[in-house]
Structure 1
């Protein structure tokens, strides 16, 4: 599905993005893809933002508690330093990284590395989040996942914040956020 034919023998890289709302299964899908690559005996390096310590300080952990080892970093340029010899790079919670991440992903792909990025495409206000729109624009493949609206059961692609806080970055899980469809998400604005 994601492998392009390469008749010249040189390794070709590309960027895959997994995006969606909270509880849509982004991290679960990232972990699934990375575990498949490991089964193929390819060299994998996995990164997450150092600020994300919700479930574990080192591992990437999905809401379903599926996990894979990662390296927490505070600067996207460190990925270039640590990605030597890697066949595949995995990056979780990309919306929390600095504005250098899209260029880092581009450089890695240009050098023949498969880059798999997961993150929220919108923040709790429904606006594009962090560097995700820029990475999605450069991506060769984009997978948008959906959650289920907790209010009506329809497809959800918004992350509704249940706690009053205007900061764009606020780490949390079901205690702070719930997935909502477009209609149920917009009900909050009409109240």
Structure 2
């Protein structure tokens, strides 16, 4: 994709959402798209929630250890302050951001910026997670990725939590979560 000028010469922005369960490759795809934008000499900025320090305090890192430098932030409004004079904005782990993330993405797109958002569409209970349903509703392009079910090998769309912790937000890796298909998730 590229930023296409309209008939008046203005850039047109849009919103892309990459969603799916844990271990489906969301962050990997976000990093891939941002690196391709850089190859095209587009100016990029990448943001992640400050609470996500699983792999690195600053880098956005995929489970496959690919990474890209980012800016950790406490709230989504900060993106509007820091995303000046850019062509593409990447946002990782969007489900952890506050209620304003949808308005921030819409504002950026109206400024002519390509916005690429990655996040979990469902929590460990299989319910819509955070602001992701709202982002999916306003997205121009949606990519839903799937992992492989750790029980049966089918496509997985739910992040099964292997611990008894019932808080909605619990950062973790393979020791805490595993991808499961609908059938295996409900068999628990």
Settle same-fold status: TM greater than 0.5.
yes
Unaligned runs of 5+ in 2: none
Gap change, CA 1:181 and 1:3, over 3 Å in 2: farther
Q: CA deviation at 1:3?
A: 5.8
**Pairing 1:76–2:76 present:** yes
Partner of 1:96: 96
Q: 1:169 offset after TM fit, Å?
A: 0.1
Give me the TM-score of the superposition, normalised by structure 1: 0.96
Provide the rounded CA distance (Å) in 2 between the counterparts of 1:90 and 1:107: 14
CA distance in 1, matches of 2:5, 2:163: 48
SS in 1 for 2:136: helix
Match for residue 48 of structure 2? 48
Counterpart check, 1:127 vs 2:124: no
Q: Please tell me whether residue 25 in structure 1 is matched to residue 25 in structure 2.
A: yes
- Return 5+ residue gaps in structure 1 as ranges: none
SS of the equivalent of 2:179 reads strand
Task: Summarize the Cα distance change of 1:152–1:3 in structure 2 as closer, same or farther, 3 Å threshold.
Answer: farther
Equivalent-residue separation in structure 2 for 1:11 and 1:89 (angstroms): 14
Q: 1:56 to 1:9 in 2, by over 3 A?
A: same
Partner of 1:139: 139
Quote the offset at 1:9 in angstroms: 1.9
* Residues in 1 aligned to 2:109 and 2:166: alpha-carbon distance in whole angstroms: 36
Question: What's the counterpart of residue 184 of structure 2?
Answer: 184
Which residue of structure 2 aligns with residue 15 of structure 1?
15
User: Match of 1:174?
Assistant: 174
Q: Please tell me whether residue 150 in structure 1 is matched to residue 150 in structure 2.
A: yes
Which 4+ residue blocks in structure 1 deviate beyond 6 angstroms? none
Asked whether the 8 Å contact 2:157–2:180 carries over to 1, the reply is: yes
Counterpart CA distance in 2 for 1:182 and 1:3 is 38
For each residue in 1:84-122, what CA deviation from the matched residue of structure 2 results, as whole angstroms up to 9, or x when unmatched?
101000000000000000000000001100000000000
Equivalent-residue separation in structure 2 for 1:116 and 1:175 (angstroms)? 28
**Aligned residue-pair number:** 188
RMSD of aligned alpha carbons? 1.1
* TM-score, normalised with respect to structure 2: 0.97
Matched, 1:59 2:59: yes
Q: Determine helix, strand or coil for the equivalent of 1:107.
A: helix
Q: Is residue 163 from structure 1 mapped to residue 163 from structure 2 by the alignment? A: yes
Deviation digits for residues 28-77 of structure 1 (CA, Å, limit 9, x no counterpart): 00000000001111110000000000000000000000000000000100
